[in-house]
Amino acid sequence: MIDSHTHLDVCEPPEHELVASARAAGLTRMLTVGTDPGSCAAALAAAERFEDVYAAVGCHPNVAGLLDEAQLREQAAHPRCVAIGETGLDYYRDRAPRDLQQRAFEAQIEIARELDRPLVIHTREAAADTLATLLEHADGVRVLLHCFSLPEHVDECVEAGYWFSFAGNVTYPKSAALAAAAAVVPLERLLVETDAPYLTPQSRRSSRNQPAYVVETAAFVAAARGISYDELEAVLEHNAASLFGW
């Protein structure tokens, strides 16, 4: 099993315990994701320490003003970096001006293109602008919709050739539309994630999330698709290797 999106630097307990628990749960690969210069450095350091951890580096829209393109390119050149992001647009918190978010988003699309890395997308209450930006600027870039949250746009995202990663919120009773999307997106473009320490699966809602818990999200998605866990596990491991090249 894989976890296509986690944040080891802000999870509990310490990283070595998180990785050990993930291994015990059957995980073979984890992608820990940076959202600003400091957390990108932490992600790369974790990827250096653990052979089954890889890094993504990016500038989250909430801190778009921190984007240093030269520094991000340098971090992205690290051999353990396999993706750019998370980047995108966030109109829910609006912690950065929208024009600044847009510029940072477009800049990271270009970095992903230049370095031939997949692009990890964060979008919250900004679906129309996010999809319009991708349509205009990301042609030829492999796009991963992290913590997929756009079930009303699933058909156009499938048509665009994007990848879909489902997090623990797909298991929530009120997330029927997400569960329906998880059942129909192309199997060859499907991934699962924790987004730990956030979005803990329903059965563990009283706990902070961690990579080991991705197996519960995967079990839910397998049931939604009417296939066995083992079948889905093999597909997800193949998909992640294909996308990230690990």
pLDDT in tens, 74-95: 999 999 999 999 999 999 988 9
Give residue 156's identity as a one-letter amino acid code: E
Task: Compute the distance between CA of residue 142 and CA of residue 243 in angstroms, rounded to an integer.
Answer: 8
Task: Compute the distance between CA of residue 226 and CA of residue 189 in angstroms, rounded to an integer.
Answer: 17
* Distance, CA of 220 to chain centre: 18
Residue 141: give the domain boundaries: 2-244
Enter the tokens of residue 156.
């156009």
Angle at 69 between CA 66 and CA 70, to 5 degrees: 120
> For residue 94, what pLDDT is reported?
80
Q: What's the structural domain count of the chain?
A: 1
156 Cβ contact list (under 8 Å, min separation 6): 131
74 Cβ contact list (under 8 Å, min separation 6): none
> For residue 93, what pLDDT is reported?
87
Task: Compute the distance between CA of residue 97 and CA of residue 76 in angstroms, rounded to an integer.
Answer: 25
CATH number, domain with residue 198? 3.20.20.140
Task: Compute the distance between CA of residue 117 and CA of residue 76 in angstroms, rounded to an integer.
Answer: 9
Q: Minimal CA–CA distance to 133: which of 101, 111, 96?
A: 101
Under-70 pLDDT residues of the chain: none
Q: Minimal CA–CA distance to 239: which of 183, 177, 200, 193?
A: 193
- 90-145 pLDDT, tens digit per residue, is 999 889 999 999 999 999 999 999 999 999 999 999 999 999 999 999 999 999 99
DSSP states along 126-148: -HHHHHHHHHHH-TTS-EEETT-
Q: Minimal CA–CA distance to 121: which of 168, 209, 191?
A: 191
Q: Structure pTM?
A: 0.97
User: Which phi and psi angles does 88 have, rounded to 5°?
Assistant: 150, -140
